[in-house]
Amino acid sequence: MVVLKKLENGFDILEIDNEFASAKIALQGGHIYHYERADDKQVLWVSPSSDLELGKAIRGGIPLCWPWFGMNKEDENLPQHGFVRTSLFHLESSQKLEDGSTQVILLLCDSKESRSVWNHRFELRVEFIISDSLEIKLTTKNLDDQPFTITQALHTYFEVSNINDVKITGLEEKPYFDALTTKGCVQKDAIIFEQEVDRVYQEVQDAVFLKDATRSIQINNQGSSSVVVWNPWIEKTKRMSAMNDDAYKTMVCIESANALDDERSIQAQENHTITAIITPLKED
């Protein structure tokens, strides 16, 4: 079942419920901010101090960073992570699939406003499949008659029981760019958290696993080879918008991305799709 609701402040959300899971998606930003399997607990972290408000990005869930990830290379005054987080998508379709899962497709087209920031014609579709897994696909169609280049991220915030118990595996031996030191390094072992971490892992082809004291989650990516791992830790959390001081303890971002050398050039009238499939694993 998919229900479109308008909140009192005019903010539109979709509520999805099926035999596998429930989910909530904001039309602003094409932003899923709740996914919970019927037999499990919430997968996505959302800041309790983040409101659903027009013009403000939700702090948590899966923000879409598009058509650039991080700072804009040409103009540092443009918004970090692109302009889509506060753009209004419209519901293109929703349907129950044969296996009982729910598919939702949202669409954003270029507009006078978007072209004033990024002068290209495009269609941006985000497809969600709400099932035993959460699948999210972001497809960029270039409607220009020239190629254009994008970087992007599905900036997933995962809820964890305690950051001190978190281990991320699947990135061992991968090169990464450390955004804090601006140096390149190679990951030796599983990633653990004892300080701020902000890294872009490169050449990632296989699944990444997030484990805490209570569960494991598998993340499979397609159409990308970069994975961003971020936790702001104590001091940066205090400076972040819409985040309580202790927020870093219960969240970690593992982002499916096209970043750095993994930027994508899309030919005229062609598409590029980046996909993340997020599966909470059953413990034996």
- Residue 31 annotated in active site: no
- Taking CB under 6 A as the rule, does residue 255 contact ligand TA6? yes
Contact predicate 119/148, CB 8 Å: no
Q: Which of residues 76-105 bind ligand TA6 (CB under 6 A)?
A: 80-81
The candidate with the shortest Cα–Cα distance to 255, out of 213, 185, 214, 204, is 204
Q: Which amino acid is at 274?
A: I
CB of 81 to ligand TA6, least distance (A): 5
Q: DSSP for 183-200, please give it.
A: EEEE--S-B--SS-EEEE
- Taking CB under 6 A as the rule, does residue 252 contact ligand TA6? no
Gap between the Cα atoms of 259 and 280, Å rounded: 26
- Taking CB under 6 A as the rule, does residue 70 contact ligand TA6? yes
- Taking CB under 6 A as the rule, does residue 49 contact ligand TA6? no
CB of 106 to ligand TA6, least distance (A): 20
- Residue 155 annotated in active site: yes
Gap between the Cα atoms of 8 and 28, Å rounded: 15
Token pair in block for residue 93:
């379709």
Question: Annotated catalytic residue: which of 127, 135, 159, 255?
Answer: 255
Question: Whose Cβ is closer to ligand TA6: residue 80's or residue 111's?
Answer: 80
- Distance set, CA 94 to CA 12, 20, 127, 130, 139 (Å): 15, 16, 9, 11, 17
- Taking CB under 6 A as the rule, does residue 228 contact ligand TA6? yes
- Taking CB under 6 A as the rule, does residue 12 contact ligand TA6? no
End-to-end CA distance of the chain: 31
Question: Whose Cβ is closer to ligand TA6: residue 86's or residue 220's?
Answer: 86
Contact predicate 168/189, CB 8 Å: no
Question: Whose Cβ is closer to ligand TA6: residue 200's or residue 266's?
Answer: 200
Question: Whose Cβ is closer to ligand TA6: residue 31's or residue 155's?
Answer: 155
Gap between the Cα atoms of 232 and 213, Å rounded: 20
Q: Which of 127, 198, 212, 262 binds ligand TA6 (CB under 6 A)?
A: 198
DSSP state of 118: S
Question: Whose Cβ is closer to ligand TA6: residue 131's or residue 156's?
Answer: 156
Contact predicate 84/151, CB 8 Å: no
Q: Which of 130, 230, 276, 280 binds ligand TA6 (CB under 6 A)?
A: 230
Q: Which of residues 101-130 bind ligand TA6 (CB under 6 A)?
A: none
Question: Whose Cβ is closer to ligand TA6: residue 62's or residue 108's?
Answer: 62
Q: DSSP for 248-268, please give it.
A: GGSEEEEEEEE-GGG-EEE-T
Q: Which of residues 27-46 bind ligand TA6 (CB under 6 A)?
A: none
CB of 179 to ligand TA6, least distance (A): 6
Gap between the Cα atoms of 68 and 66, Å rounded: 5
- Taking CB under 6 A as the rule, does residue 135 contact ligand TA6? no
Whether omega for the bond prior to residue 280 falls within 30 degrees of 0, making it cis, is: no
CB of 71 to ligand TA6, least distance (A): 9
Q: Which residues are catalytic?
A: 155, 255
The residues binding ligand TA6 (CB under 6 A) are 70, 80-81, 155, 179, 198, 228, 230, 253, 255
